């Protein structure tokens, strides 16, 4: 029997994403967590949907960290994450009903994490609607408005759930947010049913309270005592607020910077950064995507890859592997190694294209100068065509067992990106993984 892959004891591993999200980080974090002591979700919120498939069933985590199925791992939602107390409380209860043990021994929420409240989701949808043609295509989860309030140093944080006068604090916040929304909506009617909201929130509060804690010192203790720690990103490098293709980005930092900000861990302590990359490219929401395919092959990737947003149910835009965009993403997240996912989705194609450069105004770009969406919008992909392998590779666990053309495809990507592909995921299940 093959020896199980184990992280080196005491290592600090960041699992992030080189692209526009949706690469299958959930599975990778779950797999790596089997040899970890702590798993930290460090950015974003329920805009993410991380799918983990085990013999126990299929789990889609929006708010919970993906290490949660491992009882001995302390799972953390750190500062830097935005927490929706109503949906998180439901997610916890549902997972518990599915047999997942979730107790303060294996799950904690840092008290300074900001909370997404119903006024944030309302503001998100009002802004998107008002912007019409120039909307961002957000997930509608209230992410931007919550991070905006955080930057304005206002809003509620998870620690507020522990306050004796939580109800008073909540009502004060609700009162001015109502006023703000009335102005935005040009409508002075009450937008929220105060009584219902308070009652729902109190129920969520009673579920979440035991998990809210002063987590940062615990992270430091784990780090100092040589425990193995995994950082789990939401979204991807090209959606990074600062370095992604603004304004078609999210409001947090999926790269290593996000991990450092959310944990206070010194950058020199990080052992390895995995950049998870899909074997073809997808994007959801607005913004340029040079390799997007609208015809038969796009539909094939969308259907076979089940490319539907786990949070929004939106169909993802699908296209050939965009090495130029991914190279930029790799640089943003500073990945040391690549985890290539979903290569098996390409199994039935007789030929596969890879975008190796962009043509912009007659000039060839192998690398992106920056992530400016105006540049990407006008850039035309230049492709190289590789032969497909026309064989079933799902579930393959050894690189040598992949067909020659599949190996060629992977090695071609590795060469283009200049970073080793050390893990290949050949299916959604834990053991459908190649460690090279």
Residue 85's SS3 state is helix
Q: Enter the tokens of residue 181.
A: 């929304």
Q: How many residues bind ligand IMP (CB under 6 A)?
A: 21
Q: By C-alpha distance, which of 27, 23, 17, 11 is closest to 60?
A: 27
Q: Is 235 in the site for ligand IMP (CB under 6 A)?
A: yes
Closer to ligand IMP by Cβ: residue 238 or 270: 238
Smallest distance, ligand IMP to C-beta of residue 45, A: 8
- Is 336 annotated as catalytic? no
Q: Which of 32, 116, 136, 338 binds ligand IMP (CB under 6 A)?
A: 136
Q: Enter the tokens of residue 193.
A: 């049913």
Smallest distance, ligand IMP to C-beta of residue 51, A: 11
Angle (CA) 198-200-203 rounded to 5° is 110
Closer to ligand IMP by Cβ: residue 74 or 239: 239
Backbone dihedral angles phi then psi of residue 292, each to the nearest 5 degrees? -55, 135
List the strands of the sheet with 433-435, edge to edge. Answer: 212-213, 107-110, 74-77, 38-41, 229-232, 12-17, 272-278, 337-341, 421-425, 433-435
- Taking the C-alpha atoms of residue 307 and residue 299, their distance in angstroms, rounded to an integer, is 10
**Chain position carrying tokens 């094939």:** 300
> Long-range contacts made by residues 304-309, C-beta under 8 angstroms, separation at least 24?
304/345, 304/348, 305/280, 305/342, 305/345, 307/22, 307/282, 309/22, 309/49, 309/139, 309/284
Strands 38-41 and 229-232: parallel
By beta-carbon distance, which residue lies closest to ligand IMP?
A: 285
Q: Is 81 in the site for ligand IMP (CB under 6 A)?
A: no
| Contact pattern from residue 263 through residue 302 relative to ligand IMP, giving x for each residue in contact according to CB under 6 A and a dash for the rest | ---------------------xxx----------------
Smallest distance, ligand IMP to C-beta of residue 361, A: 27
Q: Is 139 in the site for ligand IMP (CB under 6 A)?
A: yes
Q: Is 80 in the site for ligand IMP (CB under 6 A)?
A: no
Q: Is 63 in the site for ligand IMP (CB under 6 A)?
A: no
Smallest distance, ligand IMP to C-beta of residue 165, A: 31
Range list of β-strands (E), 180-243: 212-213, 229-232
Q: Is 48 in the site for ligand IMP (CB under 6 A)?
A: yes
- Is 266 annotated as catalytic? no
Residue 219's SS3 state is helix
Q: Which residues contact 212 (CB under 8 A, 6 or more apart)?
A: 108, 109, 111, 158, 159, 161, 162
Q: Is 144 in the site for ligand IMP (CB under 6 A)?
A: yes
- Taking the C-alpha atoms of residue 156 and residue 343, their distance in angstroms, rounded to an integer, is 42
Q: Is 257 in the site for ligand IMP (CB under 6 A)?
A: no
Window of 130-138, 332-340, 362-370, 406-414 that interacts with ligand IMP by CB under 6 A: 130-138
Q: Is 23 in the site for ligand IMP (CB under 6 A)?
A: no
Q: Is 325 in the site for ligand IMP (CB under 6 A)?
A: no
Closer to ligand IMP by Cβ: residue 247 or 420: 247
List interacting residues with ligand IMP (CB under 6 A).
20-22, 47-48, 136-139, 141, 143-144, 234-235, 239, 248, 250-251, 284-286
Residues designated catalytic: 22, 50
């Amino acid at each position: 029997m093959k020896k199980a892959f184990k992280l080196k004891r005491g290592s600090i591993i960041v699992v992030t994403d080189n692209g526009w999200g949706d690469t299958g980080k959930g599975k990778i974090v779950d797999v790596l967590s089997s040899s970890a002591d702590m798993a930290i979700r460090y950015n974003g919120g329920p805009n993410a949907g991380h799918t983990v498939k085990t013999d126990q069933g299929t789990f889609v985590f929006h708010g919970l960290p993906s290490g949660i199925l491992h009882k001995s791992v302390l799972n953390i939602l750190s500062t830097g994450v935005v927490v929706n107390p109503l949906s998180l409380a439901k997610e916890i209860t549902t997972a518990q009903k599915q047999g997942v043990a979730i107790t303060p021994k294996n799950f904690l929420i840092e008290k300074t994490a900001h909370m997404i409240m119903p006024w944030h989701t309302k503001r998100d949808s009002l802004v998107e609607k008002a912007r019409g043609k120039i909307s961002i295509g957000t997930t509608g989860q209230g992410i931007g408005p919550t991070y905006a309030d955080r930057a304005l140093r206002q809003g509620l944080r998870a620690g507020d759930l522990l306050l004796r006068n939580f109800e008073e604090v909540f009502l004060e916040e609700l009162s001015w947010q109502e006023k703000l929304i009335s102005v935005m909506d040009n409508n002075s009617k009450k937008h929220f049913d105060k009584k219902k909201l308070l009652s729902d929130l109190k129920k969520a509060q009673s579920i979440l309270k035991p998990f809210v804690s002063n987590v940062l010192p615990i992270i430091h203790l784990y780090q100092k005592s040589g425990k193995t720690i995994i950082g789990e990103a939401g979204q991807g490098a090209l959606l990074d607020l600062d370095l992604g293709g603004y304004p078609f980005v999210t409001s947090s930092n999926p790269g290593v910077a996000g991990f450092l900000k959310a944990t206070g861990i010194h950058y020199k302590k990080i052992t390895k950064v995995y950049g998870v990359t899909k074997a073809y490219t997808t994007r959801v929401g607005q913004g340029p995507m040079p390799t997007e395919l609208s015809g038969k092959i796009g539909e094939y990737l969308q259907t076979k890859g089940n490319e539907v947003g786990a949070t929004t149910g939106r169909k993802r835009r699908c296209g050939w592997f965009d090495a130029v965009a991914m190279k930029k993403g790799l640089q943003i997240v500073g990945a040391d190694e690549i985890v290539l996912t979903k290569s098996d989705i390409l199994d039935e194609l007789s030929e596969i294209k890879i975008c190796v450069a962009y043509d912009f105004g007659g000039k060839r770009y192998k690398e992106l100068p920056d992530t400016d969406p105006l540049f990407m919008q006008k850039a035309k992909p230049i492709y190289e065509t590789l032969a497909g392998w026309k064989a079933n590779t799902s579930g393959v666990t050894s690189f040598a067992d992949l067909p020659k053309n599949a190996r060629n495809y992977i090695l071609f990507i590795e060469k283009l990106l200049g970073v080793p592909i050390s893990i290949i995921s050949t299916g959604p299940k834990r053991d459908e993984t190649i460690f090279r």
